[in-house]
Chain A
Amino acid sequence: MSDSAYLRPPWKNLERQHQAVTLGIWAFLGSEVLLFAGLFAGYSVYRGLHPAGFLAAGRETSIVFGTVNTAILMTSSLTMAMAGRTAKARLFHAARILLFATFALGLLFLVLKGFEYREDIHKHLIPGPGFPISVEGAALFFSFYWVMTGIHATHVTGGLVAVLRLIVTSRNDTAWLAGSGSQEATALYWHLVDMIWIILYPLLYLAGRTHG
């Protein structure tokens, strides 16, 4: 199939279409950064107001789950990047395998996150009656923990849907991976979700453990 088959209206030129898709995604990523910036700002303000509470609460998150999940998500970004490179080199079979790997790693992240949530709930780490840490501000830390990881998990889910779309659409037409801009667009989004996690990880899992 020739590349011009991937032209969508109103485009006349595939390269231009790719540029527009990439630019559009970058603009959208700017929007996503500002979305999380609201959370980062809130977290910073409250950490400044209640350093002791944030320190005490930050020790209660599960460092094992957090660290393993960080490794998993970063590996998924690696496989995603390799999928892009292999697709450009027209090694479509390899690209599809790498997309499968990305999808599996993303799913694994969510499953582990679910187990982590179960452990958190067992430890009553939900602000409200029965919340175990009495230092002021600890409950605020956990409000942000739940909202931040929840919104991030929603983004991972959205990313998984996008990766699944790549896998399904390229099933009968593997060249689509290189011809349309979709792989690159999905990859950009996936990497952003990964990078957001790289900020969340120290905020939620490491900051409380800085003073031994």
Chain B
Amino acid sequence: MSETLSAIPDYLHDGTTLRSWLFTTDHKRIGILFALAITVFFFIGGTAISIVRLDLLTPAGDLVSDDTYNRLFTIHGIIMVWFFLIPSIPATLGNFLLPLMIGAEDLAFPRLNLLSWYLYMGGATFTVLTLILGGVDTGWTFYTPYSTMFANGAVLTAAAGVLISGFSSVLTGVNFIATTHALRAPGMTWFRLPLFVWSMYATSLVMVLATPVLAMTLVLVMAERWLGLPIFDPSRGGDPILFQHLFWFYSHPAVYIMILPAMGVVSELIACFARRRLFGYSFMVYALVAIAVIGFFVWGHHMFVSGQSAYANIVFSFLSFMVAVPSAIKVFNWTATLYRGSISFEAPMLYAFGFLGLFTVGGLTGLFLATVPIDIHVTDTYFVVAHFHYIMVGGSVCAYLGGLHFWWPKITGKLYPEAWARFAAILMFFGFNLTFFPQFVMGYLGMPRRYHVYPPEFQIYHVLSTSGAVVLGTAYFLPLAYLLGSLWWGRNAGINPWKAKGLEWQAPSPPPHKNFPVPPHVPDEPYDYHPKEGPLAEAAGDVS
């Protein structure tokens, strides 16, 4: 590093006052602000479900009251879906990395980016306070007519908070789309974009087009609950199923807001630690976009037992199978990337492998659920709970942690303790499966979800699941401890500790305010780990 480079303060030291953080427009700082917030919300949501799991150790439901039980799993659902998973990768890693990966100084609209954070914080804090102080027992789905006519508790304010934080998603999406279109460095063509950037782009499309439908749905729920307007009330001609259609029109694509970024992260990790050009790059891109698009047309598979027409069921079932095709293409391509790769097992790669296995289980059980007769058998059972946790936790959270470890040296300039990290990654995989695999079994045997009191024959599965949750919880606290510790005790990372090929690794660690001291130029495809194989490479003397 030259003298001039080290003279520019990095983004962490470019102003140290609280004000310099709260009024920052630097995408990296806003990414950190989001990361701090989602970490707090993650542990609040985790605490709520820990109490639930503890209660489920015995069939009697003797730890908390029925009402508290309902409120606890609602806290867990609402916080984890809207205030952790939706912003998790896009608003933190995405915010931090998107400009770096395309060679830009910042996002297209830096002040709008800060507004996104404030909207998110406003909505999320308001809802979380509402959930804890007031209590909501509808589950995260707010199903009508229960939520509009019968539920006691602060449905109205909780919905309002979710609505507000939804605007944050839309604005982040708009910002990412404009950034990807207009701020790519010279030479960074669309098909030289890292897959993480493509995944952010596809996610942004979903955020921009799906979130407003949720917003309107919540407005209608609030209009009915607050103003007494008949909208979903069947006794006054309304149709509660309409709510489900509108709700899932957002909430199914929302699953892709959670999983597409995870796919982007995993693509970066696997390419780097297998030292291979990603197999089938262009098909990986098409698959991301295809998942985002088809994902808009599968919402009816949440409603197979709602009484919707059999023809609708057939179509939604077929389309749900269709969305599995690009997902499978991605899994096969990641696997094929490993072939003849020079694989190493650093912690981020362990998380990536964890993702690969858990996402595959989650995806395949998704096909069970897309099959109408099986879905009817397991609707509203723990089978469904296990399925979506394999996708959302096994998939998204795993990838988030993998990405966090991978880019930690870039974000903080410090190396984390590798041994601890590998241990945590393996522990997470073990704990996760112990928690959720028994849920597949008990769900298939008929254990319904959201029940406080259950028949004693299911106790063994609940005991297994709760023990798994203890392990899983430990595996989540470990990174919190050693990553924070590395800020003080970690060794300096240097610019590119993984010898990765992405543009973000050419900026200093941590990067200065405007990222690149010298504006980058991109001459090559991404993932150039194995440049010019065979005789050509030898001729060029380019074997590394």
Chain A proximity of B466: nearest CB distance (Å) = 40
**Neighbouring A residues of B105 by C-beta, 8 Å:** 9-10
Given known contacts A38-B246, A128-B228, A140-B231, A30 and B209 CB-to-CB distance under 8 angstroms: yes
Contact residues of A: prevailing secondary structure? helix
Taking beta carbons and an 8 Å cutoff, which residues of B are in contact with A? 25, 99, 104-110, 170, 173-175, 177-179, 181-183, 208-213, 215-217, 219-220, 223-224, 227-231, 236-239, 242, 245-246, 249, 514
Tell me whether A143 is interfacial, beta carbon within 8 Å: yes
Is the CB–CB distance between B182 and A147 below 8 Å? no
Is the CB–CB distance between A31 and B242 below 8 Å? no
**Neighbouring A residues of B210 by C-beta, 8 Å:** 34
Beyond known contacts A30-B209, A35-B212: 15 more, CB 8 A cutoff: A23-B177, A23-B178, A28-B208, A31-B212, A35-B215, A38-B217, A41-B242, A128-B228, A137-B237, A140-B230, A144-B231, A146-B223, A146-B227, A147-B231, A151-B219
Interface centre among A34, A127, A137 (most CB of B within 10 A): A34
Cα of A30 to Cα of B209 in the assembled complex, Å: 7
Cα of A53 to Cα of B236 in the assembled complex, Å: 12
Choose from B106, B109, B211 the contact partner of A31 (Cβ within 8 Å). B211
Is the CB–CB distance between B182 and A20 below 8 Å? yes
Cα of A19 to Cα of B183 in the assembled complex, Å: 11
Which residue of chain A is the closest to B236 with respect to CB atoms?
A139
Given known contacts A10-B106, A38-B246, A49-B237, A143 and B178 CB-to-CB distance under 8 angstroms: no
Is the CB–CB distance between B230 and A143 below 8 Å? yes
Interface members, chain A 10-40 (any B CB < 8 Å):
10, 16, 19-21, 23-24, 27-28, 30-32, 34-39
Is the CB–CB distance between B223 and A143 below 8 Å? yes
Task: List the count of A-B residue pairs having beta carbons below 8 Å apart.
Answer: 120
Interface members, chain A 36-63 (any B CB < 8 Å):
36-39, 41-42, 45-46, 49-50, 53
Cα of A39 to Cα of B213 in the assembled complex, Å: 9
Tell me whether A116 is interfacial, beta carbon within 8 Å: no
Cα of A42 to Cα of B105 in the assembled complex, Å: 44
Is the CB–CB distance between B246 and A10 below 8 Å? no
Given known contacts A34-B210, A137-B237, A151-B219, A28 and B182 CB-to-CB distance under 8 angstroms: no
Choose from A19, A46, A53 the contact partner of B182 (Cβ within 8 Å). A19
Is the CB–CB distance between B216 and A39 below 8 Å? yes
Chain A proximity of B295: nearest CB distance (Å) = 14
Given known contacts A23-B177, A23-B181, A27-B178, A42 and B213 CB-to-CB distance under 8 angstroms: no
Is the CB–CB distance between B208 and A139 below 8 Å? no
Cα of A176 to Cα of B224 in the assembled complex, Å: 45
**Neighbouring B residues of A28 by C-beta, 8 Å:** 170, 174, 208
**Neighbouring B residues of A32 by C-beta, 8 Å:** 212
**Neighbouring A residues of B246 by C-beta, 8 Å:** 38, 41-42
**Neighbouring A residues of B215 by C-beta, 8 Å:** 35
Choose from B110, B213, B229 the contact partner of A143 (Cβ within 8 Å). B229
Chain A proximity of B420: nearest CB distance (Å) = 37
Taking beta carbons and an 8 Å cutoff, which residues of A are in contact with B? 9-10, 16, 19-21, 23-24, 27-28, 30-32, 34-39, 41-42, 45-46, 49-50, 53, 127-128, 136-137, 139-140, 142-144, 146-147, 151
**Neighbouring A residues of B514 by C-beta, 8 Å:** 10
Is the CB–CB distance between A143 and B182 below 8 Å? no
Given known contacts A20-B183, A30-B208, A140-B238, A147 and B229 CB-to-CB distance under 8 angstroms: yes
Sorted nearest first, the 5 A-B pairs with minimum C-beta distance are A38-B216, A35-B212, A10-B105, A20-B182, A143-B229
Cα of A39 to Cα of B236 in the assembled complex, Å: 18
Which residue of chain B is the closest to A35 with respect to CB atoms?
B212
Cα of A209 to Cα of B211 in the assembled complex, Å: 35
Cα of A42 to Cα of B249 in the assembled complex, Å: 13
Cα of A32 to Cα of B110 in the assembled complex, Å: 22
Choose from A16, A24, A41, A136 the contact partner of B109 (Cβ within 8 Å). A24
**Neighbouring B residues of A137 by C-beta, 8 Å:** 237
Q: List 25 A-B contacts (CB under 8 A).
A: A9-B110, A10-B104, A20-B178, A20-B179, A20-B181, A20-B183, A23-B177, A24-B174, A24-B175, A31-B170, A31-B173, A35-B212, A37-B213, A41-B246, A42-B242, A46-B237, A46-B238, A46-B242, A50-B237, A136-B237, A139-B236, A139-B237, A140-B237, A144-B231, A147-B223
Given known contacts A31-B174, A139-B237, A42 and B220 CB-to-CB distance under 8 angstroms: yes
Is the CB–CB distance between A34 and B174 below 8 Å? no
Choose from B110, B212, B236 the contact partner of A38 (Cβ within 8 Å). B212
Which residue of chain A is the closest to B167 with respect to CB atoms?
A31
**Neighbouring A residues of B220 by C-beta, 8 Å:** 38, 42, 147
**Neighbouring A residues of B106 by C-beta, 8 Å:** 9-10
**Neighbouring B residues of A31 by C-beta, 8 Å:** 170, 173-174, 208-209, 211-212
Chain B proximity of A139: nearest CB distance (Å) = 5
Chain B proximity of A57: nearest CB distance (Å) = 11
Chain B proximity of A104: nearest CB distance (Å) = 29
Is the CB–CB distance between A35 and B104 below 8 Å? no
Chain B proximity of A65: nearest CB distance (Å) = 21
**Neighbouring A residues of B217 by C-beta, 8 Å:** 38
Cα of A136 to Cα of B178 in the assembled complex, Å: 47
Interface centre among B106, B107, B175, B219 (most CB of A within 10 A): B219
Interface centre among A37, A53, A140, A142 (most CB of B within 10 A): A140
Choose from B174, B219, B223 the contact partner of A27 (Cβ within 8 Å). B174
Given known contacts A35-B215, A38-B216, A147-B219, A10 and B174 CB-to-CB distance under 8 angstroms: no
**Neighbouring B residues of A50 by C-beta, 8 Å:** 237
**Neighbouring A residues of B245 by C-beta, 8 Å:** 41
**Neighbouring A residues of B25 by C-beta, 8 Å:** 9
Cα of A36 to Cα of B242 in the assembled complex, Å: 15
